[in-house]
Structure 1
Amino acid sequence: MNTLPLLTDRPVATGERWIFSVGFNVADTLGDTSRIDSELPDIAHLAEGGARVAVLSHQGRHSDSTARHLDDIARYIADRLHRPVHYHPDNTTDAAADRSRGLAPGEVCVFGNTRHHPGEETGDPHLAARFAALGDYVAVGGFSKAHRRHASNVGILAHRPGWAAGSLLTQTRLLTPWAGSLPGVPSAAFLGGTKPEKTLVGLTAFTRTYDLVVPGGAVLHHLLRARGYSIGASELGTAAEDCTAAAARAACSTTARIHLPRHVVIARRDGHHYTGRQVTAVTDGVPDGYAITDFLPEPWLTSELRRLRSGARVIVAGTPSLHTAGYSTATDLALGLAGAPAVDGILLGGDTVAELRFHGPTSTGGGSALHYLHHADLPVLQALRDHTARRTA
């Protein structure tokens, strides 16, 4: 971190054109605004210094048409900062570049959703060059996508000098107590959700560094699938074959004790709806049309969780059961331990934080947090250091 260029160390001159790359990937209800709130101090810092600020953010996925417009984000920022915040619906056209140049010193404008472009997530260099036309300098926040080499965060740094926003430092410092192994301090990781990084990165990392791993959601489904059990219509997420292979390798861990339930809760699946709750043995397999929605803890796990309440490090990365659909046994176990008074617990990820009630520390990025905990670095941080080194060589 000592070689990272920091926005707080960069004086801001009146009239400078800044691009602020962020990750306002929040639900359209704006129920959990932590990803926006974490960037507000630096937006205010630039604007109050007289900069002309073009905010460049993503929301949703291009592939499944969830990439909505961000005009409500602009209104929210305006309300919080008590200053006008404009909105411009595109971000790569000549009109967008003209709009950014037309901003007055101290003005802020949120530009269109970067994920309206298919090249955003693939790091298209031509798209990055078009984004770069919105300013002369880049402040890089958006911890939630810091593990991705996207056009709007890593790609844009090939065209403009960049500095790390405070949110990147805040999040990495927040995560430090849960990184790696800590002799003498018991540790437990609950994994869930459907995103592949929970298996590819989370399961791989924690089975090497933590004492106890309790998989749920797609992570559990991949582990059961790797053992040859039928999982019916249970959710596997994307990159299913890679995840199952990673689960098979992680299952051989000699460091962590992995909880694999003998009984799971299943229900008939119809899209995102589940009916007809049943309990079945994993050895009997999950019937066609049914999906795993929860699991029953083994007696040894119940005893171990009781012991850990006297002091442990605990991570919850992804919701371990279909909590929002009413299947909450595994999730209650995770929250009960993470929230215990003598436990240092943390929740990782925007979806997890939005779904669950938790009063302890939370991270705004699940995938980025897992990547940082596993590698002690992030692609965005690497890119900021590399481009600074080349610029000053």
Structure 2
Amino acid sequence: MRLLSEHTVLPGERWVYSAGCNAGPALTDTGRIDTELDDLRRLAAAGARVALLSHQGSAKDGTARHLEYLADYLGKRLGQKVRYFPECATDPARRRAAELRDGDIVLFGNVRLDAREEDGDRELAAALARLGDRVAIGGFSKAHRRHASNVGILGFLPGYAAASLVRETELLRPWRAGSGAAAGSVAVLGGVKPEKTTVGLESLTRTYDLVIPGGAVLNTILAVIGYAVGDSELGADPERCAAVTRAVLARSNRARIHLPRTVVIAGPAGATRAVPVENGVPDGWAVVDFHLEQWAVDAVRQAGRVLVAGTPGRHTEGNHRAAAAVLGARAPGDPATLLLGGDTVAELPWAGPRSTGGGSALHYLADGTCAVIEALDGNRHKESSEHAA
């Protein structure tokens, strides 16, 4: 695939930059924004005219919002005015892009405000492509999504991989074969997204020595085994996750899977208590954390490689037991411990290596590629004259 770093940028070139600056207004963690700064700075300094696209939230669940706060933050970090235009796929947006001057960066409206974005709609992709003549694809956190602004747009413009995308794949490449690590490897899975089970549990139990499930991954395993889980979170696709879990548990050639003897459950009015997992979780109560078995703590401490993909307990609600046991068993900033994803990095107190990708990182670890990487590879011969604007 073509790399933005190898392209000589000329004054007046019109670029669409598809970023993954997915951070809320509180800007609790800005890693997904900061990773794009070097390329944006280089483009502007060379006199390119940059139409910046990004996202936050989803139109499908009503969480998408406007991004003025992101333009303000980018302006401060880049040392130049970054203006905001609240539309991205309209005729006014196209005209605004045509008005850009050399060195200008304008952040256009949140692509997720358009429900067609997440469907990879071709018409929307064509409209976004009209904002420029070339597209730089960053935002590794969305690299596994076949959306209009990061895969669909490559059907209309010559595409280049931004440095943020390249850096992430280089960071993750040594972590694909976890079982090759000296002293063994451990993968921790948490959170509520189905991909933590359908991709993470399925693939990491093939390549890591020990998998410690938490969150919806653990709850699904407990339910499949036959324990009552009460009102515990099972994620957005419980039936599919349960089917994958059954298949994983039935495999003989898989990692050891940690199952706690004691879980922490929360009930009415936020009351919490620790209960033996074999007793089950009553209705009205939900698993929010668990006690890590001592043998597993020892395995984490001695492991040559520890991957953390998702918080194992409901960390923002004060349930820190499992996360503290895992991270407490590793030296602060340990280079052989890697955290994946925006929420994981934002919530857990870790100053060591981290990836901006959650689901995208799991897909890359499983397959060695992602939807965006495949699309960029297929796009490498496209010329700007083919743009259908």
Q: Which of 77, 89, 92 is 1:92 aligned to?
A: 89
Return the alpha-carbon distance in structure 2 between the equivalents of residues 112 and 101 of structure 1.
16
Deviation at 1:205, TM superposition (A): 1.2
In structure 2, the CA distance between the partners of 1:339 and 1:150, relative to structure 1 (3 Å rule), is: farther
Return the alpha-carbon distance in structure 2 between the equivalents of residues 43 and 172 of structure 1.
20
Deviations 1:341-383 (A, max 9, x none): 7771010000000001101100011111111111111110110
Q: How does 1:1-393 map to 2 (within 5 A)?
A: 4-180=1-177, 181-182=179-180, 184-253=182-251, 254-268=253-267, 275-306=270-301, 308=302, 311-339=303-331, 344-389=336-381
**What 5-or-longer segments of structure 1 have no aligned partner?**
none
Return the alpha-carbon distance in structure 2 between the equivalents of residues 96 and 113 of structure 1.
12
Deviation at 1:389, TM superposition (A): 4.1
Return the alpha-carbon distance in structure 2 between the equivalents of residues 299 and 347 of structure 1.
22
Given that residues 338 and 346 in structure 1 are in contact (C-alpha distance below 8 angstroms), is that contact kept between their aligned partners in structure 2? no
Deviation at 1:337, TM superposition (A): 3.1
2:118 is paired with a residue whose SS is: coil
Deviation at 1:185, TM superposition (A): 4.0
Return the alpha-carbon distance in structure 1 between the equivalents of residues 285 and 339 of structure 2.
29
Return the alpha-carbon distance in structure 2 between the equivalents of residues 304 and 14 of structure 1.
55
Deviations 1:127-180 (A, max 9, x none): 111111111110000100001100000000001110000001111111122111
Deviation at 1:226, TM superposition (A): 1.1
In structure 2, the CA distance between the partners of 1:339 and 1:244, relative to structure 1 (3 Å rule), is: farther
1:63 is paired with a residue whose SS is: coil
Taking only the aligned residue pairs, the percentage that are identical comes to 51
Return the alpha-carbon distance in structure 2 between the equivalents of residues 239 and 351 of structure 1.
20
Return the alpha-carbon distance in structure 2 between the equivalents of residues 170 and 302 of structure 1.
31
- TM-score, structure 2 length as denominator? 0.95
Deviations 1:212-259 (A, max 9, x none): 000000000111111122111111111111111111212234331100
Deviation at 1:96, TM superposition (A): 0.3
The residue identity in structure 1 corresponding to 2:259 is L
Deviation at 1:281, TM superposition (A): 2.2
Given that residues 332 and 352 in structure 2 are in contact (C-alpha distance below 8 angstroms), is that contact kept between their aligned partners in structure 1? no
Return the alpha-carbon distance in structure 2 between the equivalents of residues 356 and 183 of structure 1.
24
Q: How many residues align?
A: 382
In structure 2, the CA distance between the partners of 1:133 and 1:366, relative to structure 1 (3 Å rule), is: same
Given that residues 315 and 338 in structure 1 are in contact (C-alpha distance below 8 angstroms), is that contact kept between their aligned partners in structure 2? no
The residue identity in structure 1 corresponding to 2:356 is T
In structure 2, the CA distance between the partners of 1:185 and 1:340, relative to structure 1 (3 Å rule), is: farther
